[in-house]
Amino acid sequence: MTSSNSCPDHAALNSGPRIDFDIIREPIKEEITAVNQLIKQELHSDVVLVNQIGTYIVNSGGKRLRPLLLLLATNALKYTGKQHLKLATALEFVHTASLLHDDVVDESNLRRGHETVNSAWGNSASVLVGDFLYSRAFEIMVGADNLRVMQQIAETTTALSEGEVLQLLNIHNSATTEEIYLEVISRKTAILFRSAAQLSAILAEAPVEIENSLIKYGLHLGIAFQLIDDVLDYRADPEQTGKNLGDDLAEGKPTLPLIYAIQQSEEKQANIIRQAIENGNRDAFAEVYQIVESSDAIAYTERRAQEEAQTAIDALDLIPPSKYKDAMVALAEFSVQRNY
């Protein structure tokens, strides 16, 4: 992937009217309701603790972006079956399982404004319920009775796990480059967006060029979302994001604003950031924030996110016009406009 410091077309993504997220959901609101019901149904277990944690997870919010994307894309391809509802549920379980494991690794205590499962019930419960969700996702997937679907989700979970390990290897690594960072988030974050888009093509038995277009859309959309998350770690209202400012720095994660600021700053300032990453020092956040701002790192990360979002939109050129395609374009626009 290449970097660019400016592009009027990409800048236009942030200059238009704000996207109302409810407008993106509107074309498939009935299917979203059906998926939410399936999620509650499939979370059920005879084990009381699994039910307690499952209910807690369902009620903790979240936009369900990956199921949303799968539902929009299958409708854009005129898929008429019902398997997309089950696969949307399975994909949400994979995502949620990864978050449960993430919170243990990161020792997080807050997500979406709520206490994390590992904080409320302990690390063991968080890991084991995450394992339950992975297993349940594969149970649902097998029910689709589609070998390509099973292969795709299996490859996705493998890549996701590799992304988690790659991120772990780069924690506290102040020498992480932009190229390495983009590889990490492509596997760890964007892979599930890519999976949602590709699964829709598989279910609809779309031509290979359509499938490739949707793979590209999902991948670049996911990267755009993560890059804006990097920005929000410095500029968001914690009450809206449900997490504290500087969480990434406190966890020693070398995100793109930090990587760029190190490259652009004088050696003394760069060393302050390096030491903060290496020590996972939240107390250094105010000082690091000033360096990040003065180096144009936030604006640079926003521009990179806009480029990724525009690449995602361009990838939809082969998809026939429809209200569902319009919503997918709006989703890419929303990804770089959001403040939560």
What is the model's pLDDT at position 1?
A: 39
For residue 18, the 8-state DSSP code is P
**CA pair distance 136, 142, nearest whole angstrom:** 10
For residue 321, the 8-state DSSP code is P
| Gyration radius from the chain CA atoms | 20
Q: Which residues of 109-139 are buried (b: 16+ CB within 10 A; e: fewer)?
A: ebbeeeebbbbebebebbbbbbebbbebbbe
**CA pair distance 141, 150, nearest whole angstrom:** 6
What is the model's pLDDT at position 233?
A: 86
Domains and CATH numbers, the chain: 8-337 (1.10.600.10)
Question: Which own/partner pairs from 321-329 qualify as long-range (CB within 8 Å, at least 24 positions apart)?
Answer: 322/75, 322/76, 323/27, 324/27, 324/28, 324/72, 324/73, 324/75, 324/76, 325/76, 327/23, 327/24, 327/25, 327/26, 327/27, 327/28, 327/72, 328/69, 328/72, 328/73, 328/76, 328/217
HSE, side-chain direction, 13 A CA sphere, residue 259: 21
What is the model's pLDDT at position 218?
A: 98
CB 309 within 8 A of CB 336: yes
Q: pLDDT 10s digit of each residue in the chain, 340 long? A: 333 333 334 444 555 578 889 999 999 999 999 999 999 999 889 999 988 888 888 777 678 999 999 999 999 999 999 999 999 999 999 999 998 888 888 777 767 667 888 888 988 989 999 999 999 999 998 888 899 999 999 999 999 999 999 999 999 999 999 999 999 999 999 999 999 999 999 999 999 999 999 999 999 999 999 999 999 988 766 555 555 677 888 889 999 999 999 999 999 999 999 999 999 878 888 899 999 999 999 999 999 999 999 999 999 999 999 999 999 999 999 999 987 7
**CA pair distance 147, 125, nearest whole angstrom:** 32
- Which residue in 215, 170, 184, 181 sits closest to 301, CA to CA? 181
What is the model's pLDDT at position 338?
A: 87
CB 143 within 8 A of CB 86: yes
What is the model's pLDDT at position 14?
A: 55
What is the model's pLDDT at position 91?
A: 94
What is the model's pLDDT at position 240?
A: 54
